[in-house]
Amino acid sequence: MSEAVINRKKDRRKEILKRYGLAIGFVSPFVLVFIIFTVIPLIMGFVISLCKYNPYDLESTTFIGFSNYLMLFGNNVLARTFWQALGKTLIFDVVAVPCLIIIPLGLAYLINMKPPGYKIFRAIIYLPSVISITIVGVLFGAIFSDSELGLINAWFSSENPIPFLSDPVLRWTVILLASIWWQTGTNFIILSAALRNVPKSLYEACEMDGGSRLELFIHVTLPNIKGSLGIVLFNTLIGYLNLYGQPTVLNSAINRNNIESPMMLIQQWLNSFERSSLTGLISATAIFFGLIVMLFTFIERYLMKDRKGGSKYEIQYKAYEA
C-alpha cells in the first residue's frame, strides 16, 4: 500500500472521529436535560414509591417494599380520597370528552362550508385555546358567581341567586361549559383541516349512489377523518384524565379545598409540608394513577387502530378506479 492511501485512510478516520464528537456535542444538551428531568425522576420515582421517604429528612428513608401500593387498596384517608377523586374525574370525562369531540366536529363541519368571513370565525373559535385556565377561572367565576352580582344571576335570578359554584352538580356543569369554551378550539382546528382533506371525488361517488347527507357523513366523512379523530380523542382523553386546572380555579368558599381529581390530590398532598413524610405514598399513588392513564391510552389506540379494508364506499370507489 502506498503512503498516500494510508494517509488518506488516516484522514478519513480522523474525519469520522471528529464528526462523531460533533454529533455528541449537538445531542448532548438535549440528552442531558432529558436524563436529568425525565430519566432520573422516573427511576427515582419508582425507588421512592417503595420507601418511606421524606425529602426534608433524607436520613429517615426506609425501604418498605410494595406496601405503599397496598395502601391504595386499604381503608384509609388516601385510598378513599383517591378512588373518590378518580370516580368523579371519570364521570366528568364520560360527559366532557364526547362533548369536546362532537362540538368541535360540528363547528368544523360548519366552517368547511366556507361561509363568508369563515377565517374570522375560525380565529375567534380558536382564540380561547391560547389563554390560561386562570383567566378562564376569573371569567367564568364572575359570570356564574353564586352572588347576586354574578352576571347570570343578575340577569335571571337576582332575587334568590342560584348557587352555581356551590352546588356540586351545577359546579360540574359550569366546569363543563368552561372546558368547552376553553378547549374546543384546538380540536376544531385539527378536525376542520382533516375535513378539508377528504377527497371530493369520494363524496361525488356516494352522491351518485343516491346517498343521503347522513349516509355521506357516516360512510365517507368519518372513515376519512379517522386518523385525526384518533389524535383528537387521544389528546382530549389524556388531558381530561389529568384534569386539574378547571376544578382548581372554579370554586366557591365551601368547596375551595375539595379534591376533585387524582391530579389535584397529588398536587395538594405534595404541596403540603405536613404531609412531606408521606412522599413515598404519594409517589406510589402517582405511579399507579399514571399506569391507569396509560391503560386508557392503550385501549384508545387499540380501538382506533386501522383495520384492513376501509369503508364500503372507499372499497367500491377504489375498485371502480382500478
CB of 280 to other proteins, least distance (A): 10
CB of 149 to other proteins, least distance (A): 5
Is 62 in a helix, a strand, or coil? Answer: strand
Within a 13 Å sphere around the CA of 41, how many CA atoms are in the beta-carbon half?
A: 8
Q: Which member of 140, 240, 313, 317 binds other proteins (CB under 8 A)?
A: 140
Pairing mode, if any, of strands 51-52 and 62-63?
antiparallel
Instruction: Determine contact, residues 128/181, Cβ cutoff 8 Å.
Output: yes
- Beta carbon nearer to other proteins, 22 or 299: 22
Q: Which member of 179, 228, 236, 311 binds other proteins (CB under 8 A)?
A: 228
Instruction: Determine contact, residues 181/114, Cβ cutoff 8 Å.
Output: no
Site for other proteins in 243-262 (CB under 8 A): 244-245, 248-253, 256, 262
Query: Which span sits near other proteins by CB under 8 A: 1-9, 77-85, 94-102, 293-301?
Result: 293-301
Q: Tell me if 240 contacts other proteins by CB under 8 A.
A: no
Q: Where are the alpha helices (DSSP H) in the chain?
A: 3-34, 40-49, 67-71, 77-111, 118-126, 133-143, 151-156, 168-196, 200-208, 213-216, 222-224, 226-241, 245-249, 262-271, 279-304, 312-321
Site for other proteins in 17-76 (CB under 8 A): 19-20, 22-24, 26-27, 29-31, 33-34, 36-38, 40-42, 44-45, 48, 53, 55-56, 58
- Beta carbon nearer to other proteins, 242 or 312: 242
Q: Which member of 116, 159, 160, 208 binds other proteins (CB under 8 A)?
A: 116
Q: Tell me if 142 contacts other proteins by CB under 8 A.
A: yes
* One-letter identity of residue 155: W
Residues across the chain: 322
